[in-house]
Structure 1
Amino acid sequence: MAKKEILFQNSTYALAYEMLHLGQPQTILFLHGWGSNKEIMKQAFAKTFPSYQHLYLDLPGFGQSSINDVIDTMTYAHIVQSFLDELHIKPCMIVGHSYGGKVATILNPETLVLLSSAGIIAPKSLKVRTKIALFKMLKPFAPRSLYRLFATKDVDGMSQTMYEILKIVVNEDFSEKFLARKAKTFIFWGQEDRATPLLSGQKIHALIQGSHFYPLDGDHFFFLKQNREIEKTLLEFGF
């Protein structure tokens, strides 16, 4: 593992990353989802795409990468782009899982691969709506320590900064950004995904003109078992 310090908007981010298959002429960047880190992407894809250089990155605030300020997804993408510029790397393909799919979409690579991507705001269930209403009612009277009782499990063990970031990014609607995407896009999805339902994948596919959509067996982390199927599908397109 290596680290690279990136200065962005007067803040320094120490970004942890790892590269595999060094020396190959083209690079694939792998971006993990919320609450995860580069290791899960490496676990899934380290033994795939041997003819490409792999770049695995811990997004700011995850894994071994630092975070200083409350930022949104656009800022995450700007930081990652600054990181790539510092390394003089222009990935030919970016593979993004869940939240990493949103960052990858903004980066707008030649080839975009979305794995159960976030970005479509699904209607909230009655249970969730009730929970939000109760929280808003109690908020003026409850100590800050009780906020976590109402928070998603995605923030378990995370700092207050990351919790504040999640509150921002979870409400970002990427429909317009998906609609603006014109280059090659491949969308893979877990058919039993409950975190980002299959309907979200179908909506992204409808928004991105000319995209390819592949529902596969599995849940939100389907790609851990479907890595070879993903590799096979992309290689069939000449990658």
Structure 2
Amino acid sequence: MAVKTVQYKQHTFSISYEILNPSARHDIIFLHGWGSHKNLMKHAFGTHLGNFRHIYIDLPGFGNSTCNMALTTEDYATILESFITMIDATKAIILGHSFGGKVATLLQPDLLVLVGSAGILVPKPFKIRAKIFLFKLLKFSGLTSLRRFFVAPDAQGLSEPMYETFKRVVNEDFTESFRAFKGRALLCFGRQDTATPLWTAYKIAELIPGSEVVEFDGDHYFFLEQGSSVAKEIEKVVLKSLEH
């Protein structure tokens, strides 16, 4: 594990990362999802894609990377742009899971690999909508001390800057960002995923011309058991590009 510091908006971010296959010629960058860390991605893909230099990054505020200010997804992308330049890496392939998929999209890699990516708004179940309504009612009544009973699982235990970040990024509509992506895209989604349902993959595919959807059995974390299958799909796309 290594650490680089990035200066952004008068704040210092310590970015923890790890590189595998350091002598390989082509880079693949892995970005984890919300509440996760680089080791999860390394567990899934570390023994695959041996012809690539793997770059595993803890996003600011997660794993061993620091964050002491509220960020937007655009802020994450800007910080990573600086970091990628700092370690002399390329944006040939960036794989992003869930929230990491949104950050990866903004980085405009040559090949974007979205694994259960967030970014398409999914209607909230009635139970969640009712919970939000009740919290707003309590907030209006001044009973904000009960907030901990209404906080989403992804927001529990967060520092104040990260909780503010969560509120900014959780309900983003990335339709225009997907539409603005100009590279090639491979969309790998789980058929049983309820966080980023399979239908959202096809919605993204409509927004990114020439993109390809590959379905897998499994939920939001299907790639943990099927990393080799995702890796093979990446290799297929790379091979196709070399043939042209």
TM-score band w.r.t. shorter chain: over 0.9
CA distance in 2, matches of 1:71, 1:207: 26
Q: Shift of residue 208 of structure 1?
A: 0.9
Does the 8 Å contact 1:181/1:209 carry over to 2?
no
Match of 2:242 in 1: none
Please tell me whether residue 77 in structure 1 is matched to residue 91 in structure 2. Answer: no
Q: Shift of residue 110 of structure 1?
A: 0.4
Judging changes above 3 Å, is the alpha-carbon distance between structure 1 residues 144 and 16 closer, same or farther for their aligned structure 2 residues? farther
Does the 8 Å contact 1:36/1:63 carry over to 2?
yes
Does the 8 Å contact 1:5/1:13 carry over to 2?
yes
Across the two proteins, how many residue pairs are aligned to each other?
239
Q: CA RMSD in A?
A: 1.2
Q: Shift of residue 26 of structure 1?
A: 1.1
Match of 2:59 in 1: 59
Does the 8 Å contact 2:138/2:144 carry over to 1?
no
Match of 1:17 in 2: 17
The correspondence of residues 150-229 of structure 1 with structure 2, limited to 5 A, is 150-229=150-229
What's the CA shift string for 1:1-55, capped at 9, x where partnerless?
0110000111100010000001111110000000100010000000011011000
CA distance in 2, matches of 1:68, 1:147: 22
Mean Cα deviation higher: 43-52 or 223-232: 223-232
Q: Shift of residue 222 of structure 1?
A: 0.5
What's the CA shift string for 1:98-155, capped at 9, x where partnerless?
0000000000000000000000111122111111111111013455542221111012
Gaps of at least 5 residues in structure 1 are none
Does the 8 Å contact 2:76/2:103 carry over to 1?
yes
TM-score (norm 1): 0.96
Match of 1:27 in 2: 27
Please tell me whether residue 131 in structure 1 is matched to residue 98 in structure 2. Answer: no
Match of 2:235 in 1: 235
The correspondence of residues 144-155 of structure 1 with structure 2, limited to 5 A, is 144-155=144-155
CA distance in 2, matches of 1:133, 1:237: 45
What's the CA shift string for 1:167-217, capped at 9, x where partnerless?
110121100111122211000001100111112112111111110001101
Judging changes above 3 Å, is the alpha-carbon distance between structure 1 residues 159 and 144 closer, same or farther for their aligned structure 2 residues? farther
Q: Which amino acid aligns with 2:23?
A: G
Gaps of at least 5 residues in structure 2 are 240-244
